Amino acid sequence: MSLDTLQVVFVFNWILFIGLIPLSIYWIRRGLKIWLKKDYSLVALWKGSPPDDARKYALYAAMSNLGAGIIFLSVFSLVLLVGLHYDTWTGIVGITFWMKIFTDFNVSMYAHRIGIFSYKRK
């Protein structure tokens, strides 16, 4: 690789690494708002609005946010303290990010009964 390519890769890696902090803080604050302050307006949003029975899905939303935020902060600190290898920490961060996105999406679809979760009760 040329020197220019290596510099671009280095910059993008640092952006990804430094981006862990604000994202983890946002998710942890959101999870704590749902869990401790009982703010159900943040639960299972679909087009900006929560479901009618948001309290029922609050635990899933809170654990999704808190779990992802704690994992991100843990990875950040492990990279600084232990020198976690690049492939390892990017793998952990990538899997955690996408699992959090898919979990929130599925909880929202289930709470609002959209798509495959739409069913008629008798």
pLDDT digits (tens, 9 = 90+) for 23-45: 999 999 999 999 999 999 989 88
* Confidence at residue 47, expressed as pLDDT on a 0 to 100 scale: 86
Of 94, 99, 26, nearest in space to 60 by CA: 99
Tell me, yes or no, if the pTM score tops 0.95: no
Neighbouring CB atoms inside 10 A of 111's CB total 22
